[in-house]
Structure formats: C-alpha cells, structure tokens
Structure 1
Amino acid sequence: MKQSKSSTLGTASISSLLVKQAVPASIGILVMSLNMIVDTIFVGRWIGPLAISAITVVIPVTFFIGAIGLAVGIGGSSVLSRALGSGSHEKALRVFGNQVTLTFLTSGMLAILGLVFQDRLIELFGADESFKDLALIYYRIVMYGIVMLAMCMMGNNVIRAEGKPKFAMYAMMLPAIGNIFMDYILINVFDFGMYGAAWATFISYFICFAFIVWFFIFKSELRLSLDSFKLKRKIVSEISALSSVTLARQGVISVFTVLVNNVLISTGDALDVASYGIISRALMFALFPVIGVNQGFLPIAGYNYGAEKFQRVRESINKSILYSGGLALVIFAVIMVFAPDLVSIFISNKEGQDAETLRNNAEILARTPNALRWVFAATPVIAVQLIGSSYFQAIGKAWPALLLSLTKQGFFLIPLILILPKYYGVFGVWIAFPIADVLSTIVTGYYLNSEVRRTLK
C-alpha cells in the first residue's frame, strides 16, 4: 500500500503529476520565500536599512552550510527515486540512511569552523564597520541552528522523492510561519532588535527539524534501522557524485554573493548591499512557481528514467518547460510594472525616525527599482536553463549536470561581475544578470536537445 505512493510517478498522467508535485512545492517555496521577505521587511522597517545589509552578508555562509543538506537531499533522492522506480526498496533505505549521516557530519563540521573563524568570515563576506556588529549578532545565533537547517533541507527532498509532496510543503510552511510570528514578537513587541531576528530564525530551524523527524518516524515508507546509517563506499560515491552538482551550484551562488557584496561596497556603499539584499529576496519570492515546477519535475523524470519509460521522460521535460516558461513570463511583467511598489514594502518612512535613517530609506527607494528591473530582464527564458540542468541530475548524469548548473553563476555571471563594474560601476552589477541568463539558456538548451535526441528514443 505504501509503495503505491511512489509507483504513481510511473503511471499517472504527466500533467497531473506535475500539478501534484509542483503545486505543493511551489506553495512551500512561496511560504518559505514569504518568510525571508517578511523577515527582511521587519528588519528593514523596525531596525533599519543597515540591518538588511547585515543579513545580506551573513546569508552566504549559512546558505552554503544549509546547502549541504540540500545537495545531499537532491543528489541522494535522484538515486532513491531510481531505486524505487526499479523496485529496489532495500537500496532506497540504505541511500536514505547514508544521506542522514553525510548531512549531519558535514554540516556539523562546517558549523564549528564557521563559529571559530566568524570575525574573518564576516569581513570576507563584505561587512564594513557601519554594520559589522549587527552582522555578527545575527551570524552567531543562526549558526547554532544551522545543522538543523541542513537536515531539514535533506529530509524535504527525500519526502518529495517518496511521492509525498504535501508533507514536503508542510515542512517548509511550518517553520516559515513560525519565523514570521517570532519575528513580530521578538523584534516588534519585545524590541530585541537584531537578537530577536536571529533567535526567530533559530526557532524556525527547530520547528522544521521537529516536523521532519516526526514524518520519518510516523509517516514515511522508509523505515530505517541502525545499519542503514553506516556509510557504504559505493552508495556514498553515488550520492556524492550527484550531490556535487547541487553543492557546486549552491557553493558558486555563495561565492557569487560574497563577490557581489564586495564589489558593491568597493564601487558603491552599504546601501547598495541593502538594495541587493532586497533584490535577492525578490528573486526567490517571485520565481517560486518556476522553482516549484522544477522541483516537481525531478522525481517524475528520475522515476520514469529508472523504469525506462522514456516517452514519459520526454513528455515531462516538454511540459515542465512549457509550464515554467509561461509562469516566468507573467513574473517578468509584474516586476516591470510594479518594481517601485515592491521595493517600498521594505522601507518605513514613519515619523520619529532619525535623519540618517530617513536619508538611507530615500536612497534605497531611488536606487533599487531600476536595478530590480534589470536583474529580472531575461526572466522569460530561464525555464530552459533550470529544467535542462535538472534533467541530467534526475537521470544520474552528474558531470553534464554539474557543468550546466554552473553555466549561469560560474561561467558567465561571476566573470561579468568582475568585468562590467570596472566600466559601468554599480550598474554593471545589475546588467550582468540578464546577460548571464541568456547565455546560459543558449548553452543548456543546446545540450538538452542533443541528449534527448540521442538517448530518449
């Protein structure tokens, strides 16, 4: 009976599966994104723009350590989906147990190192004296709970690979709602400032972790034994090969964020870092339905490839690109029209604020809307890049998946960020985004088309 949940990935219509998988994933991502958005709004309106800058420079290290769990989750779940598709339930159990062990050990070690070298890391990530103390407050507390975040990111992808996307959605919704509630209580009611923002985030990690543990004890078809947690070289190698795709992509994103923060500080000032903080939140929030389709596509493609149902794999690719491309076009139109309104949400001009805060708020409102439009300028074409790179990961081809996942940030965006600001200043940072989107889409589209023609006959 439990097996039927995953077996439907090989029998139900692709359209219905995409809806079933993508809608809960999209809702979960939406709520998680709203969490980050509201968190930034509360910090910006109740603490000030420099607090947004502080959170922005902390994100790369917490993002990378949390991405350990995401990488092991996505990479291992590709192996797990194909094991379920081929009927090898014992291998699926072993894979999941090894995912838990790998995530805990790796994220724990990195968290310890992150706390030991916190002062150097904060400066490296672009913090200057105007907001370094705020950044350190947030960083220390969030790092105490980062292992829980990594375990949550891993577990969430395993839940989706089991064919239970609603529970994966709940795993993202509950901590997000908890964080928003605690932000309000700790920042606005108790006036704990940056400490309140940090502890609210820590509590949200704990809520997510508690839910993930509950699911795998009471609801999962993957019943682990102690032996499942013992690392096996062959399985670790298989998980690592595919996890390296996501980890490299997330690692490059972290490096890119550090680079952008430093470039913005050197060519602009701390308020440009705050602008990027707002834009990065908008990127995750606005693209939630596109990312949701991509998340829904992964287990469908992986399961049917493992079951050698290649026509269904082709159909899943085509429909995923069609659906996510249409959604991306709508998002593009909304950003172009409502950019100033979106930015104004993060800024408070209420009476009683000091003159410096009012000046900073006015600068943010003047600088950010056009920057936001440029960053989203090539949004309509990104579906091909996302689905294309994910396809190779879903079918277990780690090397092309790794290369294609790095095309935007690694091969195009980072070099453009290093070159364009020398000639165009801060504006060069913003125009690098659409150029990288177009170039990476061309490369990914070419390789995806070639692979489909060659293998999915």
Structure 2
Amino acid sequence: MFGDVSKPNKLFTAKHPLEILMETTASQDNSALDGPILVTFLKYLFPALVGMLAMGSASIVDGIFIGNFVGVPALAAVNLIIPILTVLFGVALMLSIGGSVRAGKYLGQRNQVAASAIFSKTLVITVVYAIVLIVLGLLFETALFRLLGADESLAQLMSQYYRVILPFLLAQIITIVLYFFIKLDGFPSLAATALVAGAIFNIGLDYLFIVVFDWGLSGAAWATGLSQVFPVLTLMTYFFSRKRKLRFSLRQKNWSEVFQAAYNGLSEFINETSGGIIAFIFNLLIISRAGVEGVAAITVLNYLLMIGFMIYFAIADTAQVMISQNFGAQNVQRLKQLLKICFAMTTIVSLLTIGVLLVFKEALIYTFLSDEGTQATVAIATTFVDYVWPMFIFAGANMIISGYLTAIHLPFQSGVISLCRSLIFPASLLVLFFILFDNNLFVIALPIGECITFLIAFAYFIRHQPQRAIDDDMAKNS
C-alpha cells in the first residue's frame, strides 16, 4: 500500500488518502509526550499492571490446580516443559518489543506511516515464525523430552500437557504482538482487558476440566489453551477503532526492518530464553540431588517469585512506551522524571515483596500443594525462599535500566545486562556452588548474580543518562 513507508517517496507529490489521515492524526495530542507526566505514567501503568498480574495469576492458578488436584509429579512435568516454551516466547517478545520500540520512536517523531509499517511487518513475520516452530515442536517431541532429562514416566505426563498446549501458542504469540503495539498506540485499557479476560476464563476452565471432569494435566492444557482465544478476540476490536494511529497492511517493503528493529528487543529475548536455559540447568541439578520433589519445589518457587517480577515488568514496560516516544521527541526533562518515578516504584515493590515472602512463605507454599505427601517438597521450597529473597533488592533496578536502554535504542548494552542477570552469572554460579555445597545452598547463585549484574547496569546507566543519550543519537543520525 505504501511501499517503503519508513522513507518519504519524492517521486510523487499527490498523497494517498490514508497518508493524509495519518498526518491529520499526528497533529492530535499525545499524552505520552504532552500530558502530566505522573498522571500519564499511572494511566499506562495501571492497565499494564492489571494485565501482567492477570497473566501471571493465570499461570499461578494453573499451578494451584495442578499441585492440589493432579499431584507433585505433574508440577514437575510442567516445569520440565518450560525451556521449550521460553524459546518460543523469547523470539516473539524480541520481535514485538523491538518493533514497538521503533514504532514508539516514529510516533515521537510524528511519523505514523512508518510506525504502521513496522507494526504490520512485525505481526506478519511473528505469525509465520509461530506456525513453523509449532510444527517443528510437535514433530520432534520425543527428542526434546529426552534432551530435557525426562524419564519415561515424566515424559508421559509432559506429553499430556505439551501436545494440547503447543498449537494454542499461535494465539498467545499473536496476543503478545498486539498487546505491545496496542498499548503503545494509547489503548492500555484494551490491552489489559484482553489479558484479564483470558485469566478469568482460564480459572473457570481449570476448575471445570481439572476438578469437575478430572482430565488431569491435559485438562490444565486445554484450559490454558482455550483461554488464550479470548485475549486475541478482545484485542482484535482495536482494528475497528477510528482513533487508532497504527494501520495494518500486508503490502510492505523493506521487510528486513523487522529484524533490525528486533535487535532492540534483544534483552527481552535473552531474558526469556535464558530463563529456559536456567530452568533446564536447575532441573538437572535438582533432579540429581532431590528428585521429583525438588523439581516440584522449584516450580512452586517460580510461582512465588512470579508476581514480583510481573510488577517489575509492568513498570519497565510502561516506561518503555513513554521513554521511546519522548526519546524520539528529545524531551530530556520528561525522560529524567520518568526514570525517577520508575526507580521509586520498584523500590516500594521490592520492600513489599520481600516482606510478604519472609512472613507468609509457608502459607504461600501450601497454596500450591495438598496436605498429603508433600512435606519433602514444602521443606525444600521453604529453604529456597530463605536463600533467594535478596534477589528483589537488585532485580527491579536491573530490569528498569535494561528497559530504559532498550527504549533509547541501545540494545547491546541492554542485552549485556540481560545476559548477565539471566544466564552468565546464574548458570556459572549455580554449577560452581552445586559443586562446592552438599545441600541446597547452591541457589544463592541467583541473588549473587543479580547483585553483580547491578554493578554493571549502574555503570551503563551513568554512561547513558538522558541528555547524553539524546546527544549521542543526534550525532549518530546527523
């Protein structure tokens, strides 16, 4: 429709009607650029927070139903599948966040034609990627399970979940793309509503399929999969809004721009895929030391940590929406104020999360487990909480700085932070401490890794504060 819409076409003086519409829309106020900064930030944050918590709570509710009505081995089986899913989601996040950050810069420059082009190309390529990976994942199921260290009994449980959930990942990946771009376009409430709808349906279907129908792990998979249809349908209503700035078209050129933009999402790809690698390493280590109960304890720990990290992600994600646009508009003071707000909020979240974990840890752990035959799992999970809670002292700041660097188009620096906190330090320290310690103390690798990463992240942040970042960007593009 537009050709290479990221660049003006000097061969024509007449303008396409849709281009005229976009230029008219561009003159409208953009609250991310012009609105009261705290009010606007909260306007974006609250829906993002609700959406992230809804998405996180859906996974947690799955864990509660599986742990209480299917059993500890089923929890372990789901945890062993995580590395596969994180690789699939990692690439989708990289494309979505990288594309939305570039689109945000275009919107800050009032170039909605270019923003629409990167939106269209990102959506198409991500859908094609999802279809290819789902087919390959189903074809090589046995080999993947063997690689993950599953024995025959666990592999049978994993298969019940895996074969059902994998095809539904197409809907989940489409949701990811639409979520980031729709929120960027000033529809955070719609994005959050979609995730809440999915969470609500997931809870209801979990109860129906697991408790009432007694379908076990396959029931949990059907509940999660079917519940992902509703967010997609909800987000599709965006295309009927006359107020939207982003327009979808299959007719595009310069498709390589998607992969160039995806580089800005490198840190999110590293975070997601590294999480899968760390889960893989963790599972191998804990199976050798504590068996299925240990893997189940790790699964419970993941659920307990999830809420805090989801809140961090919501804050960082909201910051990216506003920072990318203000960076494009070269609003130095707004960038500084946004960063102050983000660091203040993550500090509050860290203190509250640490307090809840330490005071209510046993009650929280028992939420995921039935009272019978779980004492070994509870004991291991309690020990893990005692060792890993200091992660929250540093993790929030690391995620904010990484997100900030992504938003100002410094993917290498953001990627270094993500690689350090998600893979290099945790993996190397886990193996080292596993060799050094005979008990479960080796999990202190996680908070120590976050601490070391913070020193690196802080150095990058000092080097790339807003004014200098804008000056460097202007010099690069001059």
Query: TM-score band (shorter)?
Result: over 0.9
1:141 aligns with 2:170: no
Which of residues 42, 62, 73 is equivalent to 2:65? Answer: 42
Match in the other structure for 2:18: none
Match in the other structure for 2:250: 226
Cα deviation for residue 270 of structure 1 reads 1.1
**Is 117-126 or 80-89 further displaced after alignment?**
117-126
Residues 171-182 of structure 1: pairs in structure 2 closer than 5 A: 171-182=194-205
Cα deviation for residue 456 of structure 1 reads 5.4
Match in the other structure for 2:273: 251
Question: For the Cα contact (< 8 Å) 2:316–2:404, is it kept in 1?
Answer: no
1:167 aligns with 2:181: no
1:335 aligns with 2:369: no
Residues 29-428 of structure 1: pairs in structure 2 closer than 5 A: 29-218=52-241, 220-227=244-251, 230=252, 232-349=254-371, 358-359=372-373, 361-425=374-438, 427-428=440-441
- Structure 1 4/35 Cα, relative in aligned 2: closer, same or farther at 3 Å? farther
Q: Secondary structure at the match of 1:127?
A: coil
Q: Secondary structure at the match of 2:151?
A: coil
Give the residue type in structure 2 aligned to 1:443. I
Give the residue type in structure 2 aligned to 1:178. F
Give the residue type in structure 1 aligned to 2:378. L
Runs of 5+ unmatched residues, structure 1 = 350-357
Normalising by structure 2, what TM-score?
Answer: 0.89
> For residues 6 and 150 of structure 1, what CA distance do their matches in structure 2 show?
31
Cα deviation for residue 13 of structure 1 reads 2.5
Give the residue type in structure 2 aligned to 1:420. F
Cα deviation for residue 2 of structure 1 reads 5.8
Runs of 5+ unmatched residues, structure 2 = 1-23, 472-478
Cα deviation for residue 231 of structure 1 reads 5.3
- Structure 1 307/110 Cα, relative in aligned 2: closer, same or farther at 3 Å? same
Question: For the Cα contact (< 8 Å) 2:121–2:255, is it kept in 1?
Answer: no
**Is 386-395 or 289-298 further displaced after alignment?**
289-298
> For residues 401 and 262 of structure 1, what CA distance do their matches in structure 2 show?
29
Instruction: Provide Cα deviations, 1:46-103, integer angstroms capped at 9, x if missing partner.
Output: 0101111011111221232133322211110000111111010100110000111121
Cα deviation for residue 234 of structure 1 reads 4.7
Q: Secondary structure at the match of 2:30?
A: helix
- Report the count of equivalent residues: 446
> For residues 22 and 426 of structure 1, what CA distance do their matches in structure 2 show?
41
Match in the other structure for 1:355: none
Cα deviation for residue 266 of structure 1 reads 1.9
Question: For the Cα contact (< 8 Å) 1:83–1:91, is it kept in 2?
Answer: yes
Question: For the Cα contact (< 8 Å) 2:67–2:74, is it kept in 1?
Answer: yes
Match in the other structure for 2:476: none
> For residues 401 and 389 of structure 2, what CA distance do their matches in structure 1 show?
20
> For residues 201 and 273 of structure 1, what CA distance do their matches in structure 2 show?
22
- Structure 1 144/251 Cα, relative in aligned 2: closer, same or farther at 3 Å? same
> For residues 282 and 176 of structure 2, what CA distance do their matches in structure 1 show?
25
Give the residue type in structure 1 aligned to 2:247. R
> For residues 4 and 93 of structure 1, what CA distance do their matches in structure 2 show?
16
Which of residues 445, 448, 451 is equivalent to 2:461? Answer: 448
Question: For the Cα contact (< 8 Å) 2:47–2:189, is it kept in 1?
Answer: yes
Cα deviation for residue 126 of structure 1 reads 3.3
- Structure 1 40/447 Cα, relative in aligned 2: closer, same or farther at 3 Å? same
> For residues 369 and 29 of structure 2, what CA distance do their matches in structure 1 show?
46
Cα deviation for residue 242 of structure 1 reads 1.4
Cα deviation for residue 175 of structure 1 reads 0.9
Q: Percent identity?
A: 25
> For residues 374 and 215 of structure 1, what CA distance do their matches in structure 2 show?
45
Cα deviation for residue 432 of structure 1 reads 1.0
Cα deviation for residue 425 of structure 1 reads 4.1
Instruction: Provide Cα deviations, 1:259-294, integer angstroms capped at 9, x if missing partner.
Output: 111111122211111111111111112333322211
> For residues 98 and 320 of structure 1, what CA distance do their matches in structure 2 show?
31
Give the residue type in structure 1 aligned to 2:447. P
1:437 aligns with 2:450: yes
What's the C-alpha RMSD, in Å, of the aligned pairs?
1.9
> For residues 408 and 339 of structure 2, what CA distance do their matches in structure 1 show?
12
Instruction: Provide Cα deviations, 1:13-48, integer angstroms capped at 9, x if missing partner.
Output: 322222111111111111111111111000110010
> For residues 210 and 103 of structure 1, what CA distance do their matches in structure 2 show?
18
1:26 aligns with 2:42: no
> For residues 310 and 94 of structure 1, what CA distance do their matches in structure 2 show?
27
> For residues 38 and 302 of structure 1, what CA distance do their matches in structure 2 show?
34
- Structure 1 121/405 Cα, relative in aligned 2: closer, same or farther at 3 Å? same
Instruction: Provide Cα deviations, 1:291-339, integer angstroms capped at 9, x if missing partner.
Output: 2211111111101000011121122112211111111111111111111
**Is 4-13 or 135-144 further displaced after alignment?**
4-13
Instruction: Provide Cα deviations, 1:111-154, integer angstroms capped at 9, x if missing partner.
Output: 11111111121222232334221111101111111111111111
Question: For the Cα contact (< 8 Å) 1:5–1:164, is it kept in 2?
Answer: no
